[in-house]
Amino acid sequence: MSLLIAGTMAFDAIETPFGKTDKIVGGSATYAAWSASQFTHTIKQISIIGGDFPEEEIAALKAKGVQFDGVEQIQDEKSFFWSGRYHMDMNTRDTLITDLNVLEKFNPQLPDSYQDCEFLMLGNLMPSLQTQIIQQLKNRPKLIIMDTMNFWMDIAMDDLKKTIGMVDLLMVNDGEARQLSGEYSLVKAAQKIMDMGPKFLIIKKGEHGALLFHANHVFFAPALPLEEVFDPTGAGDTFAGGFIGHLARTKDISYNNMKTAIIIGSAMASFVVEKFGAQRLKEISKEDIAKRLNQFVDLVNFDIDIE
Amino acid sequence: MSLLIAGTMAFDAIETPFGKTDKIVGGSATYAAWSASQFTHTIKQISIIGGDFPEEEIAALKAKGVQFDGVEQIQDEKSFFWSGRYHMDMNTRDTLITDLNVLEKFNPQLPDSYQDCEFLMLGNLMPSLQTQIIQQLKNRPKLIIMDTMNFWMDIAMDDLKKTIGMVDLLMVNDGEARQLSGEYSLVKAAQKIMDMGPKFLIIKKGEHGALLFHANHVFFAPALPLEEVFDPTGAGDTFAGGFIGHLARTKDISYNNMKTAIIIGSAMASFVVEKFGAQRLKEISKEDIAKRLNQFVDLVNFDIDIE
């Protein structure tokens, strides 16, 4: 039984108020796999890369148990490239360059070895591709989660709603939840989005934490207040990877276990923003994660004696 | 032993995307007293009002144990009046009218009956008046908390820093914490502000909750996700009133008890925004508060088994 992660494996060039990088490895599936690999060791990637994607990155991920049978590599072409500049608040950014490159040819074909999928994470991709991946699975996974972005709401809302209707859990940020639902109140937005199909909804609020909605329940996971956010790129994908990595490890998809999973995702996100790229995810140990989780416990734990 | 609350008792006229009011009773000390009176019954107000301040409001507060010996009333003049319009996010607002009226003559003189003060809450006022109140107390209270605003940072920073140096706990919003410290990171801002004197700092983030800092500890209290925020006026003062009301009731000023107090303050704030003015604070019962506190427990409570 395995965790499938679909998304981009790409290059980014990032500017923040605190520094800038040349092209570094990025992509939603890359961040998610690094994060999830801290918790589970049968991860199968679905992506497309060019001949320029570094062998060392592939080898390093393989060493963590990440399989590449579902990653198409086109040797003569370039990997997807994104470049952006973050504003001072690190929550908003301007896209400087988007070179789709191989992504234009992405036509995911799942190998037979991927049919044991128990957990499916659909990173941000064109909704019709996300649907195509779901449809190729002969047995429905135990849990399908998807990420998406406002871009698809602008240009492919019907396709997007179709995909949303097929998944168990949708993950969007606050602005996207408002755009998707047409409601300003996140509580109202959550109800409308869950009416579209997903039984669970996570609304990410960046430095302000994340909300998990299910039926008439709501759970809030804070973001850890940090001295410095160095590079927020990949924070959402890292969060998603930690979230589904924990669920895949425990094989428990209850609302209660999702609360734990969202805290774990938040802890992983709090690491990735400390350096450019996925560097921190490669460095940290189980002990680092346990220590960080304790900080989350201290952050929100209180005693109350309700009269 | 008593809780002293200093601040404005005033009129507001409010426009939100959901409605507008004529002149209604408001003011920092009014909201704080209504909120604190749910928890403690010896509250002594320090304020100034005009002849137009409603007798019924005074009678209603007195019935809740709020004393008025330190409230000066100038019969021939008008109470302080503020009018504002909230934007869609309910976090930002434009001031339309500020009529200082009696506030220009405010020269607080504490009656002898106020010398038993154990807890002092300095609502937002000119910093030199906040200092004057502290200096009139012969015995230092067990705890002094103060609120302030960016306006005083713009025009009276030296006076403000002097007052901040005299208190135990400062309460500001995120923008104000950044302005006061010159640091964008709230963690760095908190350290700089605590270096100015206060051992405790609360940074309010509106719908994104509040952070409590103490030494190298940080605690996060979420805001309850609400279907509708009807009128955010007074939310900060209501939060402060609930916070200090709980501390005054329990007479425990430990960091641990402050965590509980900040959750109670957040619960009270979640009520006040449901209607215009302090109306909800007048209606709610102990049972309503207990139920709301349980919602906060559900909102952030999670199990984690750290390996």
A287 touches chain B (CB under 8 A): no
As a whole number, mean pLDDT of residues A93-118 equals 95
Domain boundaries, chain B: 6-300
May I ask the CATH architecture of the domain B6-300? 3-Layer(aba) Sandwich (3.40)
pLDDT above 70 for A307:
no
For residue B278, what pLDDT is reported? 95
Mean pLDDT of chain B: 95
**Partner-chain contact A306 B300, CB within 8 Å:** no
pLDDT tens for each residue of A125-183: 999 999 999 999 999 999 999 999 999 999 999 999 999 999 999 999 999 999 999 99
pLDDT tens for each residue of B222-278: 999 998 888 899 999 999 999 999 999 999 999 999 999 999 999 999 999 999 999
For residue A17, what pLDDT is reported? 87
Measured CA distances, A241 to A122, A248, B249 (Å): 10, 10, 45
For residue B271, what pLDDT is reported? 97
Q: Which two tokens stand for residue A91?
A: 């929550």
Burial B40-63 (b: 16+ CB within 10 A, else e): bebbbbbbbbbeebeeebbebbee
pLDDT tens for each residue of A245-303: 999 999 999 999 999 999 999 999 999 999 999 999 999 999 999 999 999 999 999 98
For residue A90, what pLDDT is reported? 77
Q: Closest Cα of chain B to A79: distance in Å?
A: 35
Q: Closest Cα of chain B to A177: distance in Å?
A: 14
Between helices B157-164 and B127-136, what is the axis angle to 10°? 30
pLDDT above 90 for B171:
yes
pLDDT tens for each residue of B78-111: 999 999 999 887 778 899 999 999 999 999 999 9
Partners of residue A227 in chain B, C-beta under 8 Å: 185, 187-188
**Residues 243-262 (B) with a CB less than 8 A from some CB of A:** 256, 259-260
Q: Closest Cα of chain B to A29: distance in Å?
A: 26
B215 touches chain A (CB under 8 A): no
ipTM: 0.90
* Residues facing A170 on adjacent strands: A146, A201
CB atoms within 10 A of CB A242: 30
For residue A306, what pLDDT is reported? 64
Query: What is this structure's pTM?
Result: 0.93
* CATH fold for the domain made of A2-300: UDP-N-acetylmuramoyl-L-alanine:D-glutamate ligase (3.40.1190)
Q: Is A23 left (phi over 0), alpha (psi -120 to 50) or beta?
A: beta
Percentage of chain B lying above the pLDDT 70 cut = 99
B184 touches chain A (CB under 8 A): yes
A208 touches chain B (CB under 8 A): yes
Cα distance between residue A303 and residue A200, in whole Å: 28
